[in-house]
Amino acid sequence: MSILGCRFTFCTRKYFPAFFFSKSSAEISHLVKEFIDRSLATMLYLPVAEHLFASQEQNDIVLLLSSSPQFLVAAIGEALQIKFWQGTTYECDKEGRFNKISHIMEGEEKARFVKKWMKQLDIPLSSTIIYSDSSLDLPLLKIAGKPIAVVPGFRFKRFCRRQGWEIMS
């Protein structure tokens, strides 16, 4: 099973008021679709994309987790033909405008989500390959059968080396 961290991360608490609060979810979804159609291919990190496509060819279960908004994670998942995904959930008011963040998908939450999900599928955590580019995902990476750091920053890279984890740079 492969679990991918998404590189389209937004600092959810910081940017929600500026970019999404009171905006139409339908309008934002339309813009996200256009963005994904135009830009996703150029934004993918090729080594991780190759792992993703190989996993899909082998019929592995692939799960995409991100702190990015659910509507963005869903669009990326759909474009990459990933069936299972989860992101930060934004709620809408009765006019269909974003009004608050109801659930943030971050490190500890990602680890809890994966543990619960794997238990339901009766798949051991030792069979997981987890990719992430952020030290915020350490709780997730620590439960992986095979943690892989993707283009990590200097400190995160040093930490991963000390752990003996694979690094894709």
Global pTM reads: 0.83
Element housing 8 (H / E):
none
Flag whether pLDDT at 11 surpasses 60: no
Name beta bridge partners: 24.
Answer: 97
Number of structural domains, the chain? Answer: 1
For residue 66, give its domain range: 2-168
Q: What are phi and psi of 37, to 5 degrees?
A: -60, -40
The pLDDT value recorded for residue 137 is: 93
Distance CA 131, CA 48 (A): 8
CATH number, position 77: 3.40.50.1000
pLDDT in tens, 55-107: 899 988 899 999 888 988 999 999 999 999 999 998 999 999 988 888 889 88
Structure tokens, 143: 């439960």
Torsion angle, CA of 147/151/156/162, rounded to 10 degrees? 50
